[in-house]
Amino acid sequence: MNKQVNSLGYRLDLSAAQEAYLKGQMNKVSRSFAVVVDCLEQPLATFLSTAYLLCRIADNIEDCAETNEWKLARLNEFLSLLDDPTLADEVLLDWSAKRWLGLVPDERAMMTLEGGRELWQVYGSIPDPFREIIHHWTRVMVEGMICLNQEHCSLSFFQYKNISVIKTLHDYDQYCFIVAGTVGHMATKLAINFYAIEPAASTQLLETSEACGRALQKTNILKDFREDLERGYCYLPDEWLMQIQHLPLSFGGATPGWKAMVYENVLDELNTAKEYVLALPTHAAGYRMACLLCLLPALLTNQLAAQDSRHLFTANHQYKISRPTMMNCLLDARRIAMDNRLIESYSDRLLSEIRSGFIRSM
């Protein structure tokens, strides 16, 4: 067994096979987040890897090409596993016989007894204070997903010419809370406990953690607008789309002012994410580095959008940072991670360049 112990005495005993399983699964489902997790001290890296993979299982259920009734049954089974991971063999044996329509092979494998048992075993072995945090916030996420699959959910989508569209800005924020803001809360609580962060800093981190998650989700929503629309979904609120006669829903583009408004919303969230990183104490070194490796790629992704804004919300809406750019993010994060002045100047420069790019297009 490999013993993972931090300075406060939290300990986790994992077998070599379990460590290899977590690393392998992280690289399969998200190489970029695997890089983020690798920055963390142990056993925090294991806690967050486990939490992330549990959230991906919930996402797999939500993404499955099945009826709402079928998804609700699986999501409730997921909650039973979250409450009692010793039920894994029973539930996963049943899941192994299902088709999991719409999932790629690696995603389907996570839902089987052979491919999923070790994850639930690791989750069950996490020390209680940390497992309770993972349990609480993953449950909040899944209960939100359950709401989304029910007719009378407070978060409203409606059909506009066969496209499912979020109704209001409040719904947009609430959706981003369910799928990502919950992760921001969970990661923050894990970090506060792991590093024993003092109360004043903890309060500031908790107040800004939700915006961090929303910032990353909104960046992805904007980046993936074309792909989502081709699948019949638009996560931008109808109260925005009405202002330009729903042109983006037919890839008709948008006015420069409308684009600037939509991106200003996520830039405000990214600015709050910057303040979150600045509030992290320097002894939380691995977590500061990990947070920068979320913040910097998000800023650069939005910078790409601003540099070629004429194609936004058209059939040519496509932008994604390259692997060399991601490697530069890693190098830059290492260079600035322990210096708040450098973090602030780096982030503010990018935020200013993005805003200037949209202003020039108006």
Confidence of residue 8 (pLDDT cuts 50, 70, 90): low
The alpha carbon torsion through 122, 37, 276, 278 (nearest 10 deg) reads: 130
Residues 6+ apart with CB under 8 A from 5: 11, 12, 42, 43
For the stretch 234-255, pLDDT in tens is: 999 999 999 999 999 999 999 9
pLDDT at 360: 85
Which is it for the CA torsion 339, 343, 349, 352, positive or negative?
A: negative
Spell 316-350 as b/e; 16+ CB within 10 A means b.
ebebebeeeebeebbebbeebbeeeeebeebbeeb
Q: Check: CB of residue 35 under 8 Å from CB of residue 49.
A: no
* pLDDT above 80 for 151: no
pLDDT at 67: 92
Q: In degrees rounded to 5, what are phi and psi of residue 43?
A: -90, 10
What is the rounded distance in angstroms from the CA atom of residue 360 to the CA atom of residue 362?
6
What is the rounded distance in angstroms from the CA atom of residue 45 to the CA atom of residue 221?
27
What is the rounded distance in angstroms from the CA atom of residue 154 to the CA atom of residue 260?
29
Confidence of residue 361 (pLDDT cuts 50, 70, 90): confident
Q: What is the pTM of this model?
A: 0.93
% of the chain residues with pLDDT over 90:
89
Confidence of residue 148 (pLDDT cuts 50, 70, 90): confident
What is the rounded distance in angstroms from the CA atom of residue 195 to the CA atom of residue 46?
15
Confidence of residue 10 (pLDDT cuts 50, 70, 90): low
Confidence of residue 155 (pLDDT cuts 50, 70, 90): confident
What is the rounded distance in angstroms from the CA atom of residue 65 to the CA atom of residue 341?
47
* pLDDT above 90 for 95: yes
The CATH number of 11-133, from 1.10.10.10, 1.10.600.10, 1.20.1250.20, 3.40.50.150, is: 1.10.600.10
> What's the average model confidence in pLDDT over 109-137?
96
pLDDT at 13: 83
* pLDDT above 90 for 313: yes
CA nearest neighbour of 98 among 117, 123, 71, 131? 71
Indicate the average pLDDT of the chain: 94
What is the rounded distance in angstroms from the CA atom of residue 303 to the CA atom of residue 296?
10
pLDDT at 7: 52
For the stretch 36-60, pLDDT in tens is: 999 999 999 999 999 999 999 999 9
Identify the burial level of 1 via C-beta atoms within 10 angstroms of its C-beta, where 0-12 means exposed, 13-18 middle and 19 or more buried. Answer: exposed
For the stretch 158-194, pLDDT in tens is: 899 999 999 999 999 999 999 999 999 999 999 999 9
For the stretch 267-304, pLDDT in tens is: 999 999 999 999 999 999 999 999 999 999 999 999 99
CA nearest neighbour of 300 among 328, 341, 269? 328
3-state secondary structure of 3: strand
* pLDDT above 90 for 77: yes
What is the rounded distance in angstroms from the CA atom of residue 128 to the CA atom of residue 73?
27
How far is the CA of 264 from the CAs of 55, 62, 222, 252, 292, in angstroms? 28, 29, 12, 21, 20
